[in-house]
């Protein structure tokens, strides 16, 4: 099978980690008889430097014509003083809106060989941890009406949280469909005791749940969910929640794994199209030095194979190869510990390819 992938290496370590991921995908293609065609495009700081815009129209057009998008990282201190609409991060919001990426899937998977990196006690996490946060990505307070005005105490600013029935229904279905392939448990996180938008959210989720009688549904207020992720994270399977709540909780869940450099993500549109990226930043201080950890990006490619291309066996092959390399004691600097073998970006990529 042939697949067209738009690649956005971006800034900092982005080119380093995307390069290794392309090599891994080429190996998968060779092994399983697929052809992956890659088209590199600009976004983020490098796009600002070359075109004056964080997200050129050409990038949008090529991404729309592709079967999926692979993104490295964007941003860095070089562009911190630019106006908000010209900053590299604006490219991410632009891609989400232009490509209709309404569902963000962020696994918090603690690999058994790295369990000592988890900040929680062993009796809390056991040998492993596997949580999937499903975050609504194109609605809510991040996209609602905003502005400044004169209020009771002078100048004030406001941001509006708004959700429609359709927006909640489609993200809920993503969560329930994911749970059907996992442990059949959904925890919907809201603030229905205070927010009207959360009361609508809860009502719609309950309606969607009727179509998935095999799945256990629980509701949880966001403040309690933040506490429970630390107190008893193993109670969660799939968490489905709003844009802002998901932004916060997915970062909290990611730190339970001990290294943000290990975690992939998928941002999905309706149908099979998706954008895949690691959740870490651009780390410009180690860019081009063969120090970056490419595993999160490589695992993001595995999610691409699974969710956009329907290649479950191939996705599992990548994930198994990563686990085997970790079991053999190989580590990049961010996950290095005493007694392990320190390797660089290119070496860890080649080790994964060797396992494949």
Domain residue extents for the chain: 1-105+263-356, 119-256
Q: Among 1-10, 102-111, 121-130, which stretch is predicted with the lowest mean pLDDT?
A: 121-130
pLDDT per residue over 144-194, tens digit each? 999 999 999 999 999 999 999 999 999 999 999 999 989 999 999 999 999
pLDDT score, position 49: 96
- What CATH code is assigned to 1-105+263-356? 3.40.718.10
CA of residue 229 relative to chain centroid, distance: 18
pLDDT of 126: 80
The alpha helices in 83-211, defined as continuous H runs, are 90-99, 122-125, 165-180, 196-209
Q: If you search the block for the tokens 């080649």, which residue do you land on? A: 350
Tokens for 281? 């930043």
Angle (nearest 5°) at CA 202 between 196 and 203: 95
Average pLDDT over the chain, rounded to an integer: 95
Residue with tokens 């080790």: 351
The encoded tokens of residue 252 equal 């909290």
The answer to whether 4 and 65 are in contact (CB under 8 A) is yes
Q: How many CB atoms lie within 10 A of CB 152?
A: 5
Q: 154-159 and 146-151 as β-strands: parallel, antiparallel, unpaired?
A: antiparallel
pLDDT tens track for 206-254: 999 999 999 999 999 999 999 999 999 999 999 999 999 999 999 899 8
pLDDT tens digits for range 306-328: 999 999 999 999 999 999 999 99
| Structure tokens given for 80 | 């911190």
Same fold, 1-105+263-356 and 119-256: yes
The total of other beta-carbon atoms located within 10 Å of residue 159's CB is 13
The hierarchical CATH code for the domain 119-256 is 3.40.718.10
Confirm if 216 and 254 have CB atoms less than 8 A apart.
Answer: no
Spacing of C-alpha 52 from chain mean position: 27
Q: How far is CA 216 from CA 105, 176, 187, 197, in A?
A: 19, 9, 8, 23
SS3 of residue 209 by DSSP: helix
Beta strands at 341-342 and 330-331: parallel, antiparallel or unpaired: parallel
pLDDT at 202 over 80: yes
The DSSP secondary structure of 61-81, one letter per residue, reads: HHHHHSSEEEEEE---GGGTT
Do residues 186 and 225 lie in contact, with contact meaning Cβ atoms separated by under 8 Å? no
Reported pTM: 0.90
Show which residues are catalytic. Answer: 142, 191, 223, 247, 251
- Structure-block tokens of residue 192: 């229905």
∠ CA 310-349-237, rounded to 5°: 45
Q: Is the pLDDT assigned to residue 341 strictly greater than 80?
A: yes
Residue 78 to residue 90: CA distance in whole angstroms: 15
Side by side, the strands of the sheet bearing 2-10 are: 35-40, 2-10, 68-73, 274-278, 264-268, 103-110, 129-136, 238-241, 185-190, 216-221
């Amino acid at each position: 099978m042939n697949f067209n992938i738009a690649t956005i290496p971006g800034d900092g370590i982005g080119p380093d980690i995307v390069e290794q991921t392309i090599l891994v995908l080429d190996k998968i293609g060779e092994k399983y008889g697929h052809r992956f065609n890659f088209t590199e495009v600009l976004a983020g700081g490098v796009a600002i430097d070359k075109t004056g815009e964080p997200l050129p129209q050409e990038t949008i057009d090529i991404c729309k014509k592709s079967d999926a998008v692979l993104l490295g990282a964007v941003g860095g201190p070089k562009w911190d003083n630019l106006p908000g609409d010209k900053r590299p991060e604006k490219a991410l919001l632009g891609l989400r809106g232009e490509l209709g990426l309404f569902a963000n899937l962020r696994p918090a998977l603690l690999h058994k060989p790295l369990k000592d990196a988890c900040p929680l006690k062993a009796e809390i996490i056991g040998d492993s941890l596997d949580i999937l946060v499903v975050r609504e990505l194109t609605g809510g307070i991040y996209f609602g009406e905003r502005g400044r005005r004169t209020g009771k105490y002078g100048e004030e600013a406001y941001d509006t949280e708004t959700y429609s029935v359709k927006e909640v229904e489609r993200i809920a279905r993503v969560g329930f469909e994911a749970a059907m392939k996992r442990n059949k448990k959904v925890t919907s996180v809201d603030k229905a005791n205070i927010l009207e938008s959360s009361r609508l959210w809860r009502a719609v989720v309950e309606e969607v749940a009727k179509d998935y009688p095999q799945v256990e549904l629980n509701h949880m207020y966001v403040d309690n969910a933040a506490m429970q992720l630390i107190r008893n994270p193993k109670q969660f399977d799939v968490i489905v929640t709003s844009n802002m709540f998901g932004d916060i909780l997915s970062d909290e869940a990611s730190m339970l794994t001990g290294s943000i450099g290990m975690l992939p993500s998928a941002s999905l549109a309706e149908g099979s199209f998706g954008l895949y990226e690691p959740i870490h930043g651009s780390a410009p201080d180690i860019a081009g030095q063969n120090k970056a950890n490419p595993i999160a990006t490589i695992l993001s490619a595995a999610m691409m194979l699974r969710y956009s291309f329907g290649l479950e066996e191939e996705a599992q092959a990548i994930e198994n190869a990563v686990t085997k390399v970790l079991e053999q004691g190989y580590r990049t600097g961010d996950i290095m510990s005493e007694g392990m073998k320190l390797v660089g970006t290119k070496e860890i990529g080649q080790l994964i390819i060797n396992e494949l």
